[in-house]
Structure 1
């Protein structure tokens, strides 16, 4: 379940500092199982209740990169959107995401280099008021000049 999605493209000529876009997604057991299959990361902290209960997390958690993938979805679908090329991403995992959590992923334009078509984006994910992931992305934005 994804909420608040406005898909499309915002070309670099129309981007502005401070522009934001977001989405929300409920993380399900199925999401975690599918991510484990696709990524081949079958760490039992994600998949085994008994094992995970005895970890520092005291229960199962979603893969960090599953949560980070929501940032990618905002960038690739909304800001800048279709045609964007990811160049880099820093991530700091601040708190676990658990099955049943509603994750709010948000991206904000912090810098624009028109001559190189580079855009810097502050990125973060929250569960409620808790920041679970934060970082910064650099992307090559689409341009009207290359339609």
Structure 2
């Protein structure tokens, strides 16, 4: 009978170990995916503090800086994204979303090359549910965030 009890305990330890290994593996995979820059989110202060490499694709978020929006030749648009503390120049070729404008929240996907965020994709929305919590928090910290409808 004693042998049976020991076997059950051993089995439980094995299950716990397998669970730990599985957890470790999934955490490592998520970490790898983030490290690989799959939509890894940064605000302008984080980008300046720790500039990503020119091949790393990530998301930038913040407010379109007032007075920074310049429409160039063709579909090239330049503007700066700010989190209140720092701002990053952005270059985008394409059609901007309808809601895009100065002092509005935006998120861009792209790469950071020679001090400019080269966006492949720009999203602009006014609703709070769309902006990542990190953007809202960093804007609130800087006192820039206005509640929708205020």
TM-score normalized with structure 2 length? 0.29
**Which is greater in Rg?**
2
- Identify the structure with bigger relative contact order (alpha carbons < 8 Å, sequence gap 6+): 1
Q: Which has the higher strand share?
A: 1
Q: Which has the higher helix share?
A: 2
TM-score normalized with structure 1 length? 0.29
